[in-house]
Amino acid sequence: RLQHLMTLREEVETLAHGGPWTPTADWRDAGTHLELLLDVPGVDPASLALEEDGGQLTVSGERQGAAGEGRPLLSRERPSGRFSRLLSFPE
Amino acid sequence: RLQHLMTLREEVETLAHGGPWTPTADWRDAGTHLELLLDVPGVDPASLALEEDGGQLTVSGERQGAAGEGRPLLSRERPSGRFSRLLSFPE
């Protein structure tokens, strides 16, 4: 139930702050393999997850909000909370 | 002239890839001072510049493109090149 409440809270925050976070991505050809470059500044690397399913890739992760420790935000554009993105492998 | 050509090339790339780069920013109240949080992953810190003028702040910097060294991009969303953004201080 706590998890459900947290998800709900994230959804409310997402609605309040201009939509979900969609990190930009590049695919790069490194000869023997593909490289995925993903813009996720401030995301805890331990929160990142990759999941492949039938030629598609889901990347997800989470960024903590920047407020805290008596340092409130005065204006806010940077998205926080969880993101999840479905990517196709390049041709 | 080389600089001019590079600027021209950046402008063409900007037009080709969905417009200029507008990094998202938060202002945070740290008690004795303001903190500016700016999402600029992959930007060389040495390229960042701040300029204050009459209560407004211009931040600028540059990100190198991700292609190179025989590793071409297969798909591209991440903006590169120079950015410049005019910010107002929070109330």
ipTM field: 0.75
**A26: contact with B, CB 8 A cutoff:** yes
- Is pLDDT above 60 for A57? yes
In order of A32, A73, B30, the CA distances from A70 in angstroms are 49, 10, 8
- Is pLDDT above 80 for B19? no
Nearest Cα neighbor of B41 from A61, A43, A77 is A43
Q: What is the dihedral angle through the alpha carbons of A11, A15, A21, A22, rounded to the nearest 10 degrees?
A: 110
**How far is Cα B27 from Cα B40, in angstroms, rounded to an integer?**
15
Q: What is the dihedral angle through the alpha carbons of A56, B65, B43, B87, rounded to the nearest 10 degrees?
A: -90
**A61: contact with B, CB 8 A cutoff:** no
User: Is the pTM of the predicted complex or chain greater than 0.90?
Assistant: no
pLDDT grade, residue A19 (50/70/90)?
A: low
Nearest Cα neighbor of A27 from A80, A88, A70, A81 is A88
| Residue B90, phi then psi, degrees to nearest 5 | -70, 160
- Is pLDDT above 90 for A68? no
With left for phi above 0 and alpha for psi between -120 and 50, is residue A53 left, alpha or beta?
beta
Mean pLDDT of chain B: 87
- Is pLDDT above 80 for B47? yes
- Is pLDDT above 80 for A69? yes
Output the pLDDT for position B20: 76
In order of A45, B70, B72, the CA distances from A35 in angstroms are 17, 13, 10
Q: What is the pLDDT of residues A41-56, one digit of tens each?
A: 999 999 999 999 988 9
In the structure encoding, which two tokens stand for residue B30, read together? 């740290």
- Is pLDDT above 70 for B42? yes
What length does chain B have?
A: 91
Question: Is A30 in Cβ contact with B74 (below 8 Å)?
Answer: no
- Is pLDDT above 90 for B25? yes
**Smallest Cα distance from B1 to chain A, Å:** 31
pLDDT grade, residue B21 (50/70/90)?
A: confident
Output the pLDDT for position B24: 94
Question: Is B39 in Cβ contact with A73 (below 8 Å)?
Answer: no
**How far is Cα A57 from Cα B12, in angstroms, rounded to an integer?**
31
Q: What is the pLDDT of residues B57-84, one digit of tens each?
A: 999 999 998 888 889 999 999 999 999 9
Question: Is A34 in Cβ contact with B77 (below 8 Å)?
Answer: no
In the structure encoding, which two tokens stand for residue A48, read together? 């990142």
- Is pLDDT above 90 for B4? no
What length does chain A have?
A: 91
